[in-house]
Structure 1
Amino acid sequence: MTERIITAQTVSLDVDAGADPAAVITALSDALGAAGRTTDPADLARAALEREAKSATGLPGGIAIPHARTASVTAAGLAMARLSRKVDFGAPDGPADLVFLIAAPEGGAAEHMKLLSSLARALVRPEFVAALREAETAERVIELVTEATDPGASKKTTPDKAPDEALQKTPEKTPARAPEESPTPTVSAAAPEEATRPRLLAITACPTGIAHTYMAADALKYAAERAGVELAVETQGSSATTPFDPAQIDAADAIIFATDIGVKDRGRFHGKPVISSGVKRAINEPDAMIAEAVAAARNPNAARVVEGCGEVSGVDAPATAGGTGTGLAARTRQALMTGVSYMIPFVAAGGLLIALGFLLAGYEIANTTLDAGGSLDDAAYIALNNSLWDLPSGGLLQYLGAVSFAIGSGVMGLAVPVLAGYISFAIADRPGIAPGFVAGIVSLAVGASFIGALIGGLIAGAVCLWISRLPVPQWSRGLMPVVVIPLFGSIVVGGLLYMVLGKPLAWLTEQMNSGLESMSGGSAIVLGIVLGLMMCFDLGGPVNKTAYLFAIAGIADAATAGPAQLQIMAAVMCAGMVPPLALALATVLRPGLFTEPERENGKAAWLLGASFISEGAIPFAAVDPFRVIPSMMAGGALSGALIMAFGVELRAPHGGIFVFFAMNNWVLFLVALAAGTLLSAIVVIAAKQFGRTRELTRADVQALAV
């Protein structure tokens, strides 16, 4: 018999677990810890709250399903609380009184994932939820959950009947049983009218693939049954995925994409009418989505899936209410962020290698032409012409420094093409990568650098997307993403940059660099304040990344970067380190103002902040943005201003305290960092004095753990 995922220790009925999701999740995590399902309840609570920050887990009907996958979970488990005081988990219809915390091990077995998925699907059924609310004992809850997640455990359950007689008090209102996991639809030949019904396919997928993926699938299935529409669903979640048969796709009249992540093998659905939304809309508004899909199937101008592209085409493709459709500005921002996210690893690796080269061989290595045909100093000559085993006496450090600098320069040289390539990729998918890289390479050739990459990547993506939408004969479709789109996209964007846009963009880049070099005194301090505010505004989001991109654009060429560019890099890094360090300090100075998960996050934030990872402050900002973010911006602005006033220079684009060797004055860098950190900590402590959140008491925890 399958091991039960819920026990009496993890069920609490009619308890007051606190006033906010953090308190409830902490209590349920402790209950799972007491039951031996996790070795570190605080880690589980932190992971669940991080997931909560990405997307609220409240569902219509007073239900919440916070969930997490983490290495501290030893066996898949479930903790449930029926709350006497409802807590708001972000559901559209109000707070929740039934809360399930789903805990999955990092390498969770498929069988356990199926059990957890089955529970998520059962929560879509109103009669199951009603039975949970009427249950008088923990044993009754366990029985209901066990029957829902493991039907074979009950003799009362058969494939053709509801899983529990108690759930059939009003059979006329009981929805039909959801179709089985197999996506193959059943078409009745004995009912001619059924042959005319629209045939729909749906893909559901959420980031963790544990709960929302399967709840959305069943919500759509029930809605399709109510509407008399054929529907098959492919769940791209933690459990094994059974892809649609090609014959099903050919027969489908429309597709529903209810996903928060990319659809696997999207090109299978080329040309099919499509309705797209986030996965939660499929749970909240399944009937509306089915109706929209039926309308799309009958509309010759409906939006359609484009082969090989992450976009849809069509005349009537506006964003639907509650969906995830975006305007041009939002889609452009998403494309730019995609390019920056792919570029950052190249910048970090290349920049740190260059900084290591400086440490080993001195800053003069940047002025060496690492070319066998150019003027070489001894270190460069050794690096290019000798082996490690054929060095003059005392030349090892110079050799290693020259090699490190040469490798880092090569990696940094890829940053601009990668930025442009993945901006184009975000717009036109794989066919846009090659033209995007061409745009980046040409931008370097004409001196347009990062500005050229931004403009060129957008142009390349738009051109490739336009070409992909051109009507072409069936026989040539296979050539489009492999040959035609990359070829003509590269010709168009490369030609535009070389012949039209190159010189204006290069002039703009040169003027920006000249302007930075001329900055001093008050103007430099104002720039430091602005950069500090931007770095702390969204903690790793678009505004933060814009400031970071501005900084690394100035130091990308180590041989030409001047003092102003190096000071901007120092200001950006110092300000970006402030939020996690300030919040870590605040949890130490006034722990009572923070929940237990926040205090645990504070411990990790020390290292994250020291390493220049601003995202370490996100768990705090997600719970209390209106007090946390302004407090962090105050400290970031102070640090940025002090760095510019002190004239601190930094030659590495990442690393935090681990790249002190790449600074001209690390002591003053620490002074600026300490000042900003202390200011933000004081401000956030003062702000949290007002309307502070009630912390879960030990009595509450014990009540939930019993």
Structure 2
Amino acid sequence: MKRLVAVTGCPTGIAHTFMAAEALQQAAKQHGVSLKVETRGATGVENRLTEEEIQEAHAVIISADVDVEEERFAGKPVVRVPLGEAIKKANDVIERALAQSPREAEARPTPKKEESKEAQRSGPYRHLMNGVSFMIPLVVAGGLMIALSFVFGIKAFEQKGTLAAALMDIGGGTAFALMVPVLSGYIAYSIADKAGLAPGLIGGMLASKLGAGFLGGIVAGFLAGYVAQGIKTWLPLPKALERLKPIVIIPFLSSLIVGLLMIYVIGAPIKNIMTAMTAWLQSLGTANAVWLGLVLGAMMAFDMGGPVNKAAYTFSVGLLGSQVYGPMAATMAAGMVPPLGLWLATLIAKSKFSEEEREAGKAAGILGLSFITEGAIPFAAADPIRVIPSLMIGSAVTGALSMVWGCALRAPHGGVFVLAIPHAVERLGYYVLAIAIGTVVTALLVTWLKRKPTEQGGNENGSQNSDQTR
């Protein structure tokens, strides 16, 4: 029996990571192939591959937007696919892995050399998402701490020595203070491994101190990573000094270069951009608020946890550190709507869904309440041409209404469970109404456009039976 190994991982590490792993395992079982999947999710690395398992594997499947320590797979044929493809086309991925030739792979020096042009172009995105994956736990923990401090009153934290003040210090003064340095540090780590961590953290801290915000952190992270990688690769040293290179020379020189550039060249312009953007967001008129909400909402539903979804989420999360809370409210509400809308659709139009889809609808409802947009993926994969536009319209409506009604959210995750925290959401009634309206719009559009199960099998416009997506 042929053996395969795989690694899956997404920045949030909540749904896509494990959905891809499950889809690949089911496809491998159908092909009679042994497959072990290492997952890199919110709780860290699980089911880690051993050196022996990697050596015995016929090929390696990598479906991840985060660092997966690819150097482990040198000399092995590697198949790289986006997470969405691993979830929707797992059978094709397994077949591609089985078709690989080990003899051809042995001639390739490292996995980096065998990357396609498409994979190389996606490199900066992977580095960014690696930083985001390490930043998100800090943002979520900090945001919830801040939200809890509001239980005692919106300004209760101003009274020193109180529990509210302690919660605000933990969340805002500490967790949020680490947000940008960690983002920057782990972008640099993804590029240059350990050599990039010190200059990345330092550059990110300087970005925070200079007021350059998350944009400055992103720039500092890429700068630190490429500077450290450049020194590591291109600075020749006498053999006696080579051992000091990773411990002393690279951290010192890269931190010096990044630090001076941030202070004297980069920091001030990016601070001006952040200040202008923050001022614009805080002074949005109704028309601009509508457009921003529409765009953020549609992005959240477009690929349901993919690159576009995460771009909208990262943008909104980054603004929390600048005390801009409107986009975060629109983003979370819009992200809840796709699975909630599909759940409602399975209730009001049962005849248009198979028994299996109706059961999946119940799970989608729970995931939607928890702000896990990925709950809509099985439905979108089965009938993308009808379902995805319906989801995008419903989410866009919710995002626009949330912005127009002035809703604000201080916690970056949690779904309906955050709504119970006093003062975590401004204009709570309108916020719930925006989510409800978007849910209804989505459900009505899906039920109007969707065909009955017997009609879907013969559809040539992109529909597929639900068995093909598993």
Give the alignment's TM-score, normalised by structure 2. 0.78
Assess if the C-alpha contact under 8 Å between 1:205 and 1:259 holds in 2: no
- Pairwise CA distance, 1:581: 0.8
In 1, the alpha carbon distance for the partners of 2:276 and 2:17 equals 48
Instruction: Determine if the alignment matches structure 1 residue 588 to structure 2 residue 347.
Output: yes
Match of 1:406 in 2: 169
In 2, the alpha carbon distance for the partners of 1:684 and 1:427 equals 42
Counterpart among 538, 545, 549 of residue 314 in structure 2: 549
Instruction: Determine if the alignment matches structure 1 residue 454 to structure 2 residue 218.
Output: yes
Match of 1:364 in 2: 155
- Pairwise CA distance, 1:619: 2.8
Comparing 638-647 and 683-692, the one that deviates more: 683-692
Match of 1:120 in 2: 33
CA-to-partner distance for each residue in 1:497-545, whole Å, 9 max, x for gaps?
A: 1110010000000010111122112111111111111111111222222
CA-to-partner distance for each residue in 1:331-364, whole Å, 9 max, x for gaps?
A: 111111111122111111101111111121x222
Instruction: Determine if the alignment matches structure 1 residue 618 to structure 2 residue 410.
Output: no
Match of 2:52 in 1: 242
Counterpart among 352, 360, 363 of residue 601 in structure 1: 360
Letter in 2 for 1:350: G
Instruction: Determine if the alignment matches structure 1 residue 639 to structure 2 residue 398.
Output: yes
Instruction: Determine if the alignment matches structure 1 residue 676 to structure 2 residue 438.
Output: yes
CA-to-partner distance for each residue in 1:463-508, whole Å, 9 max, x for gaps?
A: 1222222355555554433333322221221111111001000000
For residues 544-583 of structure 1, what are the structure 2 equivalents within 5 Å?
A: 544-557=309-322, 561=323, 565-583=324-342
Match of 2:119 in 1: 326
Instruction: Determine if the alignment matches structure 1 residue 351 to structure 2 residue 161.
Output: no
In 2, the alpha carbon distance for the partners of 1:281 and 1:692 equals 26
Instruction: Determine if the alignment matches structure 1 residue 653 to structure 2 residue 445.
Output: no
Letter in 2 for 1:541: G
Counterpart among 97, 104, 112 of residue 291 in structure 1: 104
The structure showing larger relative contact order (alpha-carbon pairs under 8 Å, at least 6 residues apart) is: 2
RMSD between aligned alpha carbons?
Answer: 3.5
Comparing 650-659 and 630-639, the one that deviates more: 650-659
Question: Alignment partner of 1:540: what SS?
Answer: coil
Letter in 2 for 1:528: G
Match of 1:258 in 2: 60
5+ residue gaps, structure 1: 1-45, 58-63, 67-98, 101-118, 122-203, 210-235, 246-255, 297-302, 305-310, 369-378, 384-398, 695-706
Letter in 1 for 2:103: I
Q: Whose radius of gyration is greater, 1 or 2?
A: 1
In 2, the alpha carbon distance for the partners of 1:678 and 1:350 equals 32
In 2, the alpha carbon distance for the partners of 1:650 and 1:208 equals 31
Assess if the C-alpha contact under 8 Å between 1:53 and 1:623 holds in 2: no
In 2, the alpha carbon distance for the partners of 1:478 and 1:243 equals 32
Assess if the C-alpha contact under 8 Å between 1:578 and 1:677 holds in 2: yes
Give the number of equivalent residue pairs.
416
Assess if the C-alpha contact under 8 Å between 2:21 and 2:39 holds in 1: no
Letter in 2 for 1:404: L
- Pairwise CA distance, 1:52: 7.6
- Pairwise CA distance, 1:681: 1.1
Match of 1:176 in 2: none
Question: Alignment partner of 2:60: what SS?
Answer: strand
Instruction: Determine if the alignment matches structure 1 residue 434 to structure 2 residue 198.
Output: yes
In 1, the alpha carbon distance for the partners of 2:326 and 2:292 equals 10
Structure 2 vs 1, CA of residues 552 and 240 (structure 1 numbering), >3 Å: closer, same or farther? closer
5+ residue gaps, structure 2: 1-14, 41-45, 81-92, 459-470
Match of 2:28 in 1: 65
Letter in 2 for 1:634: I
In 1, the alpha carbon distance for the partners of 2:17 and 2:244 equals 45
Structure 2 vs 1, CA of residues 532 and 434 (structure 1 numbering), >3 Å: closer, same or farther? same
Assess if the C-alpha contact under 8 Å between 1:631 and 1:684 holds in 2: yes
Letter in 2 for 1:530: V
In 2, the alpha carbon distance for the partners of 1:47 and 1:599 equals 21
Question: Alignment partner of 2:122: what SS?
Answer: helix
Instruction: Determine if the alignment matches structure 1 residue 335 to structure 2 residue 127.
Output: yes
CA-to-partner distance for each residue in 1:301-331, whole Å, 9 max, x for gaps?
A: xx55xxxxxx74xxxx4645xxx8622x311
Assess if the C-alpha contact under 8 Å between 1:416 and 1:444 holds in 2: yes
Assess if the C-alpha contact under 8 Å between 1:357 and 1:405 holds in 2: yes
Assess if the C-alpha contact under 8 Å between 1:539 and 1:614 holds in 2: yes
Assess if the C-alpha contact under 8 Å between 1:593 and 1:693 holds in 2: no
Assess if the C-alpha contact under 8 Å between 2:60 and 2:76 holds in 1: no
In 2, the alpha carbon distance for the partners of 1:238 and 1:453 equals 30
- Pairwise CA distance, 1:576: 1.1
Structure 2 vs 1, CA of residues 258 and 273 (structure 1 numbering), >3 Å: closer, same or farther? closer
Question: Alignment partner of 1:242: what SS?
Answer: helix
For residues 688-703 of structure 1, what are the structure 2 equivalents within 5 Å?
A: 688-689=450-451, 691-693=455-457
Letter in 2 for 1:583: L
Assess if the C-alpha contact under 8 Å between 2:204 and 2:217 holds in 1: yes
Higher share in helix = 2
Give the alignment's TM-score, normalised by structure 1. 0.53
Match of 1:538 in 2: 303
CA-to-partner distance for each residue in 1:249-271, whole Å, 9 max, x for gaps?
A: xxxxxxx973417666947x9xx
In 2, the alpha carbon distance for the partners of 1:538 and 1:343 equals 22
Question: Alignment partner of 2:33: what SS?
Answer: helix
Assess if the C-alpha contact under 8 Å between 1:424 and 1:436 holds in 2: yes
Assess if the C-alpha contact under 8 Å between 1:451 and 1:505 holds in 2: yes
Comparing 278-287 and 330-339, the one that deviates more: 278-287
Structure 2 vs 1, CA of residues 355 and 264 (structure 1 numbering), >3 Å: closer, same or farther? closer
Structure 2 vs 1, CA of residues 472 and 682 (structure 1 numbering), >3 Å: closer, same or farther? farther
- Pairwise CA distance, 1:586: 1.7
